[in-house]
Amino acid sequence: MDRSIEVTFRNMPRSEAIESVARREALKLERYAPKIVGCRVAIERPQRFQRQGNAHRVRLFISAASRGPVVVTREPLDSDMHEDLRTIVIGAFKAARRQLQSMIQRQRGEAKPPQEPRALVVRLFPREGYGFLKTPDGRDLYFHRHSVLHDDFERLAVGTEVRFEESEGDKGPQASTVQIVNKPGIRLPATGPASIVPPRGWEDMGFRRGRRRAKRGAGQ
């Protein structure tokens, strides 16, 4: 597949060392999906981060015979400001390998197709620009304001239901491509997909506190 690997750089100088890492990681993908026919790697430094540390966005477009394309986007986060670009690229390929393995398992009938990931916002730190989601299986996932679609970070509140994509960060899994589904207290129509059930104990992580504040404000 070596000739079918394309590595591009945008808003930054080309790096032979990083390109070599990307090509090596792309070749490893064939261990998980032998029928891969192409891999495009796009590495860029977004304009808004031109003067801020070492933040980069990495996108992978992987084509496999008889399978749909696998697309992975590793968005820049505050935690990436001092992260080595090599580590960021490798993290994106780790996420791609997980997707390929899941795809193969589904085709073999070893796993059910995953449902659209949804979660609830349980903690927010507006000044710092980040927060945490609680997934239905009880995990906490970090997300940054730049990962929220449509610049909707300011619209988030504790209890907001969101859909998201999970990616690999420097400290483990984190949420990216976060999109609002329902604001607190709003339910989906009966004809639409069901809302997720709040995980056990999630109220203790901020919702009750927010509710008390609301009551206190109403009584003033």
Residue 29 lies in a domain: yes
Query: ∠121-123-125 over CA atoms, to 5°?
Result: 120
First to last CA, the chain: 68
Task: Quote the pLDDT of residue 110.
Answer: 55
| Closest C-alpha among 32, 30, 40 to residue 60 | 40
Task: Quote the pLDDT of residue 106.
Answer: 72
The CATH number linked to 48 is 3.30.160.100
Same structural domain, 149 and 173: yes
Same structural domain, 125 and 182: yes
The total domain count for the chain is: 2
* Encoded tokens for 26: 């792309």
- 72, 107, 142: which is the final residue of a domain? 107
Residue 217 lies in a domain: no
Same structural domain, 92 and 156: no
- 70, 91, 107: which is the final residue of a domain? 107
- 107, 136, 171: which is the final residue of a domain? 107
Task: Quote the pLDDT of residue 68.
Answer: 67
Task: Quote the pLDDT of residue 36.
Answer: 83
Task: Quote the pLDDT of residue 194.
Answer: 42
The model scores a pTM over 0.75: no
- pLDDT tens per residue, range 17-48: 999 999 999 998 888 777 788 899 999 987 76
Residue 34 lies in a domain: yes
List Cα–Cα distances, 76 to 82, 165, 205, 211, in angstroms: 11, 14, 27, 33
- Mean pLDDT per segment of 10 residues, for the chain of length 220 residues? 82 92 91 82 77 74 76 68 79 85 72 69 92 89 88 90 80 83 56 45 42 42
Same structural domain, 12 and 91: yes
Q: Which residues span the domain enclosing 62?
A: 2-107
